[in-house]
Amino acid sequence: MANPTLTPTRSAVSTVMVVGGGIGGMRAALDLADAGLKAVVVEQSSCLGGRVAQLGYMFPQHDCVLCRGTPDHGYGCTRPSISPAYIQQNQHPNIEILTNAHVVDVVGQAGDFTISLRQEPRYVDVARCINCGRCAEVCPVDLPDGYQQNMVTRKAAHKVTARAAPDAYTIERGAYCDECGKCVEVCPSGAIDLDAQPRLLTIQAGAIILALGFDVYDPTGLEELGYGRYPNLLHAMQYERLASRSGPTEGIIARPSDGRNPQSIAWLQCIGSRDQQHSYCSSICCMYGTKEAMLAKQRLGKDVACTVFIMDERAFNKEYSTYFARARDQYHIRYVHCRVSAIHEDPATHDLILHYATADGNLTEERFEAVVLATGLRPPASARHLADLLDIELNQHGFCQTDKFTPLQTSRPGVFVCGAFSSPKEIAETIIDASGAAGEVMRLLGDHLNSYPFTREWPFLSVNDLPREQDVSAASPRIGVFTCSCGGTIGTVLDLEQLNQRARQLPDVTLAETVEYACFPETLEHIQARIETGELNRVVIAACSNRTHEALFQRRARMAGLNPYLLEVVNLREQCSQVHLDQPELANRKAAELVRIAVGRVRASVPVHKNKHRCHPSALIIGGGVTGMTAALAIADSGYDVHLVERSEMLGGNLLNLYYVAEGYNPQRLLRDLVNRVRAHQRITTYTRTEVVRHWGHVGYFRAVLRSTPLAGDMTETQIEHGVTIVATGARETTDHPWLALPQVITQRELEEMIIHQPEAIMRLQDVVMLQCMRPPGTMEYCSRVCCTNAMKNAIRLKLFKPDCRITVVYKNIVTYGFREEFYTQARQHGVIFVRYTDDRPPTLVQDGERLHVRVRDPALDRWLDLPADLVPMSMAVAPSEGTRALAQMLRVPLSSEGFFEEAQIKLRPMDFMREGIFLAGMAHYPKFVEESISHALAAAARALPLLSQQSLYLGGIVAQVDPARCVGCLTCTRTCPFAIPQVIQQEDRHGVGGLGGAAFIDPTECQGCGTCTGECPANAIQLVNYTDEQIMLHAIGGLGSWLPAEVVT
């Protein structure tokens, strides 16, 4: 059989294969698609979503992901079908999804890969499956439900989750399916074909992104813990399902042994991490363990005793320290610093008895009703095979090998990596990686951006192939109501003929008829024809969820020349027929009412258009450190101009003071390389000794005033125009601490300089005491993330120079996450001593004559130690750069509680601001390692490039509009807008009530369309487009307060 080539591509090089359909793969594909490249997502399971789709809640905000990151532009893709660009009926035109597929072979090189794939059949035609579930009802085969961690069963004919992408059932054939064929018989739309065969496919691609994710460590082998023998010993993913509203117990955690809600639960951290076999830290378990404990308190009541057995509390990201504090202080979650040595079960109760050593070394035991193993992350099972196929290197742990300063590149050019496949990491960092990898691809394929143009001109994604719009403003409304039977799914519950009759009595309804499947092409063509002939100029489709199908119907209306806002969808299926199965009479009444509301809305609807803008093809980047330079090069290499603004004398930022890194690479070489490339690049204009003093405008067309103060000569101001802005202003090591006045006390950064420049001073050292987690008095505490690894790096270097130097690290928690754990291990192997302190007994300095001592409470010995010290290097907190607050005000973007810039959403949009067109990268976001800043910079560039490469931006549409003649200038809108967009300004021809000088102005390029100002305006001077008072209150058809039309108004 000849391999069919997937979709004839205009240019093979502008196609990118993304392997893995979890959040990383989805995010990367979406960024590529937005940049006008074609993305083919290859997923081995039957739906997208990966691990994240199994999580009920994300730390630290416990968002269920439903309502976050889902604006019209599709940013922040999350759950498989939540993100608009992955909704089947509105899929991004540049994204192709291949489920049940895997890579068979790859040949070629960067820019020209030929990839062979094999796709197993799903036996269900995704385009015809209506999700009625009848196939699962009749299927006789029960199988363990892997999505629910095998705690319940499902049928062989099944849908992985209620909302899956692709949104369709699938049939698992194989040994258990007895081929009874009942599913085929019962399927109303003829979507099932049990004879479907595997497909072999070939794709040509310019680049490959690997987003394979991770496997959860299987604790079965841990004999001493007894996993698998004790029913109430769960692993973390099982607990996640039990705590999830969509899990087998609907979120009310129950013991597998007896179904009782446990009253005491223990979490055991570092299972399959930080041990002899797995020498790395899995990075996410401290946080998820705490989340799971909080969920227990929230679900089962505050009296449930939650204990977390933990080695170090690794809360090393924004808001995470606060999260741990909340867990401890508000939720009274108990943390015990130790490893549990063994678990036994009380066979009578199935309670579990934990054996462990307390801080003072005494052995003790404690009983719990359930225990959760916080299992670590493993490389994905497919990693080895795929690495061989692709000829890429894996590291010693089996994760993808990357270099420190090229964190998203594999060992094979043109093949990039993102997410947990390169090292254990959480959602936010996976998202950063994913966009960053897309950024690398955009740079590689820079000449091919916008090869596949598309537009967000309409509420659906399209490719500019629509006919001219009809002007129906002069015509009286002629409304057609189509009620969908959905193959009987709706039609057998509701009386659709009666519904049509009721609809025909409503004003302006000229047609009401039932269709079998509204979403099938033949029906859509039928509806389109009715509009094209002029018979209808408004349409109501009473079918299923508008979240899944509205875009499909809107697109069809627009194909017929009708403005898509002149169409309303009634959610007859999800919000009526399926939820009132036993009350047909009341369900019919509700259906009639929902149709009446839709008719009322569509009668009051007017055409809505967004405004077309051109994107100014250049970027402003604020900050010339490693982040700013990396972002500048990524954008400039892709063919767009960059203004790179640096406040100080030289490019380089913190990299100027970084001489070596724990991994052994040379950061000074990186610095020279970046500076040389930036300086030589013809598309980059560098401004040193320059600050941004004004910034205004909107996405696509910003303006800024740059003030330069050269060493010699006069201050100058330059005004620039640009399409996007990237904030890369970095952070600094703080130095405000009274102890730093002592000659023996220095910062870790100063120690690093000393090691490089004063080796003779180092050789004189006998006793060094490093103090971790130090911060300027009176400032907020948060984990600065990089200090522990830096302390390890310097301690190891000291020990290499002078092995007999006694080094003690006085710490609260050692946060050497990921593969950095190796440096903690090395430091201990070199003989570095570690002493833990707590906030209630912090270390102090004692001057004893000439000699300085560090006094610290040793928890193991339970007494005070006086440690002599020739040198006391302190790890000082990393704080935002000076001027961060002023810059935030200028850009009108918020700051986090720690004072760093606050992104649009902590997990899903870590490089975006809510204000469109402004992006965030590097330490301006939070303290980071060099490689993390590089990934973040590439991610910001990947967000900027789609805007820069698009021919047109469409802004506005559903926005709030002010009637100045009714505005009294009361400022209520300026106070209530969550985005600080309304302004009361003086403009020609705009006068408020009584000819007042000023009136509120809401910039349609910035308005997010929430309508808060509309709801709050006391003078009723603001209306939200498409959600006007009439469309919400529906007076014209009798209002909302009664069931039947009080009177039909004509």
Which spans of this chain sit near other proteins (rule: CB under 8 A)? 66-67, 70, 82, 131, 162-163, 246, 545-548, 571, 573-576, 578-583, 586-587, 589-590, 593-594, 597, 958, 976, 978, 1009-1012, 1014-1016, 1024, 1027, 1029, 1032-1033, 1038-1043, 1046
Q: Which is nearer to other proteins, 105 or 137 (CB)?
A: 137
| Least distance from other proteins to the Cβ atom of residue 260, Å | 24
Q: Which is nearer to other proteins, 225 or 566 (CB)?
A: 566
Rounded to a whole number of angstroms, the minimum distance from the CB of residue 498 to other proteins is 15
Phi and psi at residue 132, in whole multiples of 5°? -80, -20
- Shorter beta-carbon distance to other proteins: residue 42 or 604: 604
> To 5 degrees, how large is the angle CA 507–CA 511–CA 512?
95
Distance of alpha carbon 314 from alpha carbon 793, whole angstroms: 18
Please report which helix (H) or strand (E) contains residue 104, including its range: strand 101-109
Supply the minimum distance, in Å, between the C-beta of residue 4 and other proteins: 34
Closest separation in Å from C-beta 245 to other proteins:
9
**Which CB atom, from 70 or from 88, has the smaller least distance to other proteins?**
70
In the complex, least distance from residue 548 CB atom to other proteins, rounded to whole angstroms: 8
Return the number of the residue (684 or 1007) whose C-beta is nearest other proteins: 1007
Report how far residue 255's alpha carbon sits from residue 720's, in angstroms, rounded to the nearest whole number. Answer: 63
CB nearer other proteins, residue 589 or residue 966: 589
CB of 646 to other proteins, least distance (A): 39
- CB within 8 Å of 211: residues ≥ 6 apart: 18, 19, 20, 21, 22, 24, 25, 28, 417, 418, 419, 421, 434, 437
How many angstroms separate the CA atoms of 738 and 730, rounded? 25
Residue (24 or 166) nearer to other proteins, CB: 166
The structure tokens listed for 130 are 């209506």
- Output the smallest distance, CB 575 to other proteins, in A: 5
The SS3 assignment for 754 reads helix
Interacting residues of 407 by C-beta distance below 8 A, sequence separation 6+: 422, 433, 436, 931, 932, 934, 935
Give the residue with the Cβ less far from other proteins, 794 or 1014.
1014
Q: Which is nearer to other proteins, 409 or 545 (CB)?
A: 545
**Partners of 862 in the β-ladder:** none
Cβ of residue 1041: shortest distance to other proteins, in angstroms? 3
**CB of 979 vs other proteins, minimal distance in Å:** 11
| Count of beta carbons in the 10 Å neighbourhood of residue 964 | 18
Residue 104 Cβ, how far from other proteins at the closest point, in Å? 35
Residue 260 DSSP one-character state: P
Nearer to other proteins, 577 or 816 (CB): 577
Nearest to 527 by CA among 476, 582, 481: 481
Q: Which residue, 94 or 485, is less far from other proteins as judged by CB?
A: 485
Q: How far is the CB of 132 from other proteins (least distance, A)?
A: 11
180 vs 1010, which CB is nearer to other proteins? 1010
Name all contacts of 920-923 with Cβ < 8 Å and 24+ positions apart. Answer: 920/726, 920/727, 921/627, 921/628, 921/631, 921/726, 921/727, 921/728, 922/623, 922/625, 922/626, 922/627, 922/628, 922/728, 922/730, 923/625, 923/627, 923/654, 923/730, 923/731, 923/878
Determine what percent of the chain falls in helix, strand and coil, rounding each to the nearest 5: 30, 25, 45
In the numeric block, which tokens belong to residue 463? 């490719």
Q: How far is the CB of 133 from other proteins (least distance, A)?
A: 8
Axis crossing angle, helix 930-949 with helix 23-34, rounded to the nearest 10: 40
Region of 133 (left: φ > 0; alpha: ψ -120 to 50; beta: rest) is: left
Beta strands per DSSP E along 301-409: 305-310, 334-337, 340-346, 351-357, 363-368, 370-375, 377-378
